[in-house]
């Protein structure tokens, strides 16, 4: 089997699977009894923090594994690699509305940086397309959770 095809297929399957908690928690915020709303909101923020931190870690792995990076590229990739985790931690310390806004900003910023740095990593074009699609769903789910939290209180 072509490993490129396998990687593309597996990345898509795992990426979509990673969206399930975002989508399910967002829907739950609209459907659960209001007594459970806080649990769903906290779970959504917690999952968002974990995934945003993961997106930064990708850059560390790429920088450490690359044999063609310049010293400057390695520094930029590794420095950026800690920014999403720091932003996620910051989002956790904010009031709910600002926390959701910080997470949404973080996911959009991570995608924007990825568009630039993935060229260095020599990632295939399909991967950036997948990242865009996943980012759109994540930001929409976070926004819908925020709206539900404010409308259902």
What is the rounded average pLDDT of the residues 106-118? Answer: 92
> Considering the domain boundaries, does residue 13 fall inside one?
no
User: Full-prediction pTM beyond 0.85?
Assistant: yes
Whether the per-residue pLDDT at 2 is higher than 70: the answer is no
Residue 41 near residue 29 (C-beta atoms within 8 A): yes
Task: Work out whether the CA dihedral 103, 106, 108, 114 comes out positive or negative.
Answer: negative
Q: Which domain holds residue 66?
A: 19-151
> Considering the domain boundaries, does residue 4 fall inside one?
no
What digits encode the pLDDT tens for the residues 42-94? 999 999 999 999 999 988 888 888 888 889 988 999 999 999 999 999 998 88
What digits encode the pLDDT tens for the residues 118-140? 888 888 889 999 999 999 999 99
113, two tokens: 């940086």
> Considering the domain boundaries, does residue 74 fall inside one?
yes
Q: At what angle do helices 125-151 and 3-31 cross, to 10 degrees?
A: 10
Residue 76 falls in which region: left (phi positive, over 0), alpha (psi -120 to 50) or beta: alpha
- Count of Cβ atoms closer than 10 Å to residue 75 Cβ: 12
> Considering the domain boundaries, does residue 12 fall inside one?
no
Give percent of the chain above pLDDT 90.
Answer: 65
Number of structural domains, the chain?
Answer: 1
> Considering the domain boundaries, does residue 65 fall inside one?
yes
Confidence label for 97 from pLDDT (cuts 50, 70 and 90): confident
Who's near 18: CB < 8 A, 6+ residues apart?
51, 134
> Considering the domain boundaries, does residue 6 fall inside one?
no
């Amino acid at each position: 089997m072509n490993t490129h095809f396998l990687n593309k297929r597996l990345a898509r399957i795992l990426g979509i699977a990673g969206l399930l908690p975002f989508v399910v928690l967002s829907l739950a915020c609209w459907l659960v009894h209001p007594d459970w709303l806080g649990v769903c909101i906290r779970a959504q923020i917690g999952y968002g923090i974990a995934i945003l931190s993961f997106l930064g870690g990708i850059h560390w792995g790429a920088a450490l594994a690359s044999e063609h990076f310049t010293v400057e590229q390695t520094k930029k990739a590794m420095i950026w690699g800690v920014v999403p985790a720091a932003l996620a931690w910051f989002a956790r310390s904010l009031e709910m509305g600002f926390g959701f806004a910080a997470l949404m900003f973080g996911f959009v910023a991570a995608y924007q940086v990825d568009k630039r740095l993935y060229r260095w990593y020599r990632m295939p074009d399909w991967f950036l397309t997948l990242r865009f699609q996943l980012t759109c769903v994540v930001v929409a789910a976070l926004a819908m959770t925020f709206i539900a939290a404010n409308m259902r209180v």
